[in-house]
Amino acid sequence: MVPASTPASEVIAMAPDGVFLSNGPGDPAAVDYAIESARELVKVLPVFGICLGHQILSLALGAKTKKMPFGHHGANHPVRDEATGRIEITSQNHSYVVDEVGLPDDLIPTHWNLNDMSLAGMKHRTLPVFSVQYHPEAAPGPGDSAHLFVRFRELVQQQQATA
């Protein structure tokens, strides 16, 4: 675990198997140091981002974010996982969202918030990178999205097997 301001070179020097970009408050565009680090990390490591980590990762990969009129706050937000077709009941707490309009071709939408059809997850077409806009780690709370941690572990193991 390192502070958000840790340069990518220091993280890479630690030789992690993967990187998890966690949640946090505020405007993702204001944390330019984290966006720059994420831009470097995705070149060499599997990366999984949640909430603010999702937004930072998306910005690092060329997407845009926008402020929401009211944001998503609290539990019981239904999100559809396009890979499984399942509806997950999620916990959310954010006022910014990745803008699906103009999403770079390398980013594939993977999850949609069913309350307002905002983008709630994405993955990179070729890099071992994915993220979600909500809190799969929320506890106490719904455990519908806990499988995402298994998905990340499997992604890391696949990368290790090909290295």
Write down the catalytic residue from 36, 40, 100, 137.
137
Edge-to-edge strands, sheet with 107-113: 19-21, 47-50, 129-132, 119-124, 107-113, 65-81, 87-98
> Is pLDDT larger for residue 160 or for residue 17?
17
147 occurs within a structural domain = yes
Q: Which residue is catalytic, options 51, 54, 72, 111?
A: 51
In a domain, 3, yes or no: no
Can you tell me the mean pLDDT for 58-82?
A: 95
Quote the pLDDT of residue 25: 84
Query: What whole-number distance in Å separates Cα of residue 68 and Cα of residue 121?
Result: 16
Three-class SS state of 36: helix
pLDDT at 115: 95
111 is an active site residue: no
Cα–Cα distance for residue pair 135/49, rounded to 1 Å = 10
Q: Is 51 a catalytic residue?
A: yes
Classify residue 2: in a domain, yes or no: no
Residue 82 bears catalytic tag: no
**How many domains are contained in the chain?**
1
In a domain, 1, yes or no: no
Q: pTM, whole model, 2 decimals?
A: 0.92
Q: Please check whether residue 64 lies inside any domain of the structure.
A: yes
Q: Which is higher by pLDDT, 24 or 104?
A: 104
For residue range 125-153, list pLDDT tens digits in order: 999 999 999 998 876 566 788 889 989 99
- The active-site residue out of 54, 77, 94, 135 is 135
Q: What is the CA radius of gyration of the chain?
A: 15
- What band does 157 get if pLDDT is binned at 50, 70 and 90? very high
Q: What CATH number should be reported for the domain holding residue 90?
A: 3.40.50.880
pLDDT at 139: 66
Q: Which domain holds residue 51?
A: 8-162
